[in-house]
Chain A
Amino acid sequence: MEIAVVGTSEFTLGFQLAGISHVHNASSDEEISGILRELLNDKEVGIVVVDSEILARMPERLRMRLSDSISPTVLGIGTEEDTSLRENIRKAIGVDLWK
């Protein structure tokens, strides 16, 4: 299976440099959400890498589907620490264990 990268061309360039060929360049949020929907049903993709800032702007339902999906696994990366997982932990367990 492949790793797919979705984002603006600056975001994807570095991954291309490292050898990833499954890159989707898109600039608008609508385009990206369309691509992500397609990737969710793609059997050949194991991991989807997205800019976490863009991921945060996606519609709520798509975000839920993205985070629930096992294959592919969707991971947002960015320069800021994202708090969604931390928030989830706090909700489920009642204590902030993220330390």
Chain B
Amino acid sequence: MALDIQPTRSELINLKRRIKQTQNGYKLLKMKRDGLFHEFRILLSKMVEAKRGLIDSYRLAKNQIALAAAIEGGLSVQSAALGNPVHPEVEVTRRNIMGVVVPEVKGTNLSLSLEQRGTGLIGGSAYIDEAADGYGELIVKIVKAAEMESTLKRLLVEIEATKRRVNALEFKVIPEMEEARDFIQLRLEEMEREETFRLKRFKNK
């Protein structure tokens, strides 16, 4: 315990004010932590599902492209891949959740429709189209998952930091200040008693 405190009245008043302030901050931080946690829980359950969906679609798309390559030949799949005139685009903006900056992703043309593809309606093959569909769906899911994953990571870092701060205040900073306050109070009372006793002795002489 840090006892290099001056046991004076002004110090006591200062300390009392600081304790009050710190407790206020502690309450606020605790609310922030709970709020972050709430956001996190909601997002996490969505994320778990999205991740599973992502893996499933990836497997499906991989099978479809393997099938297309096996039936149409690898070269024609590659040539179909080269001719797309429209490209998926995403826009990443920043959003703020309780002081945490998270990305928000919006996509356009993520999954190309049959007419949008470069192969045309006649030139393409059904298997290649199916594979392209599969990957188009995969991209839609990727965009969603990417947004959620980095949001979760960021929230996690912030939750951890806030948790540490809350705990430090609760178990270290506030108790230490209260101890100091009690010490000063005790000292002041003792000094007062000494003073009265001195006066009594002075009067008796």
Q: Chain A: residues with CB nearer than 8 A to chain B?
A: 1-3, 13-21, 46-47, 49, 67-68, 70-75, 77-81, 85, 88-89, 92-93, 97-99
Contacts and interface: CB of A to CB of B under 8 A. Distances in A.
Given A13-B81, A19-B86, A73 B92 contact: yes
A5 B18 CA distance: 54
B105 A73 contact: yes
Contact of A19 (B54, B87, B143, B160): B87
B128 A67 contact: no
9 contacts: A3-B89, A14-B131, A16-B84, A18-B111, A18-B112, A70-B150, A72-B92, A89-B44, A99-B48
Nearest to B61: A14
Interface residues of B, number: 60
Contacts of B159: 92-93
Query: Main SS of chain A's interface residues?
Result: mixed
A1 B131 contact: no
Contacts, number: 138
A67 B150 CA distance: 7
B65 A14 contact: yes
Contact of B77 (A3, A17, A18, A80): A17
A73 B196 CA distance: 73
Interface string B48-59: 100110110011
Contacts of A75: 142, 145-146, 149
- Which of A19, A78, A79, A97 has the most CB atoms of chain B within a 10 A radius of its CB? A19
A1 B146 contact: no
Given A75-B145, A88-B156, A92-B157, A17 B132 contact: yes
Interface in B101-142: 101-103, 105, 109, 111-112, 116-117, 128, 131-132, 134-136, 138-139, 142
A3 B139 CA distance: 9
Contacts of A78: 55, 58
Interface string B13-52: 0000000000000000000000001000100100110011
B112 A2 contact: no
A53 B146 CA distance: 17
